[in-house]
Structure 1
């Protein structure tokens, strides 16, 4: 117990043991007391208060574990010791412990202690497992961070050297002959394992994701088609803004071609189709009419521009001759504010009615 050293505890035990041997009244009180731990603790506490030197050691009796240890050592009989008081007190103490243990087992205390020990053991194992898992996670995160730094450095170096990243990450290039970067046989797939470790999004990952999305769209279209039971071509071709499964089947042959190349090929095919459908006879006349209309409007706009002579972009302000009329101040005759009009002067002295002036 905190504040009570081993020396004080041993001195207190020796003090009680000497009291049992020499004081018959104290020994009889211990032997005849009730078979309760509190009764024994109370008698030992009263005896210890006689000597002020054991005031700190009395706190040992507040704890059940320390109290049992103190009284066990007080009633302990060694070899050759046959004192009557010590033997009587020892027998009474053993009887008290037997009764208390019987009560404890009868109330299910043994099972409770076993369960408490089991819970303590499980909690300890759980704490150890959590600690090991945390250490493993921290170690794994540390290794992953180092691998990402290494991968980023190598990718930056490869980009600076002009190497193809698909060639380094996968060992092949999706662009084939259209690729603008270098393909060195010595560097084929050197970053493949490192890219898998750090979870880099290579061409294989994107291809798998696109394949999964296509499969999901097909399944969704088939489910909707089976639910509606319709065979309408418009509904089957386009469902919710997604192309039908037939369109996806057409694109399955171009899995190795990047998306922008597919878009470029589709645009070229559309332009070729439009060029073949146009009428060649009507095209020159339409272009001639358009050019003629444009030339007439442009000529009229140019004549107006030159006539007005305003905002000419090709003439600098310093070189433009300013007319003299600009500097002359025009004198305008100000009209009086309350001058009567001619019509009002004519109506002076005439009475105005609904039918006009009289």
Structure 2
């Protein structure tokens, strides 16, 4: 199955486009003159002065009034010029500040990436925190997305498995545990930032997350995270052992892929999760020897799909879930009939034919 999951293009609204000063002043003065002329003509028409005697001579008072009016027009034009110049200066200053912030961000970004490529796990850990801080302070969404992409790319690198506790491999095991801590720190930071309310400082909600093909050992805590208006991919990810928690997470107006992901051992929990709008796909996913919980989850106005998913061993529970039955769950139930236990709410029993117990 082919799905278009390319990265979204971040629109940078900070690009500065200004007219030349001459053009800006000409247009502004012309607009002011036309507006003044329109007002003057309207007043003449309103006061019915069309019959002014063109042969009448100007007295001193009228001449003085015209002089004052001329000076007023000149002063108004000067004020318009000052306003245009001040506006341009403000825009140029803002653009300069943005360029300076981007330059500093780029310098810090290069230093953080260098740390992430160090041979020392401790230095790599410092690079992880540096990149997370850069994402928090990024002057625009595009630069924030770049920092997140680098952290995800690190998790996608080949990962040396646990060499075991044999005394002959103690040095390798110490390095394995240190590098594992780096990876777990990245996942913890991602979970923390996707829990923060959208629009607040240090929130990454709305940013894409590419964790396709990653190997996740042990605990993963994305409980309470909000995936809204973004593309998140766990395609072909491997979750082995430990507790994988998406408890009370919210999936809305975005796309989250778990296609061909493998969950083996431990527990996978989406308890209380809300699937409201958007798409969440577990197509071809395999749950082997797991306790899987979608208890009290809400399936509303969202396309949740389990097409060709497999449940092998363990228990899969949708107890007290509300909303419509996810697509493909009936087929997955038929395939896995003899090897897993399904717990479903009573409202779904008419749609699923699988030995079950439920509310």
Q: What range describes the TM-score normalised by the shorter chain of this pair?
A: under 0.3
TM-score by length of structure 1 reads 0.27
Structure with the largest fraction of strand: 2
Which structure has more RCO (C-alpha within 8 Å, separation ≥ 6)? 1
| TM score, norm. by length of structure 2 | 0.27
Which protein is richer in helix relative to its size?
Answer: 1
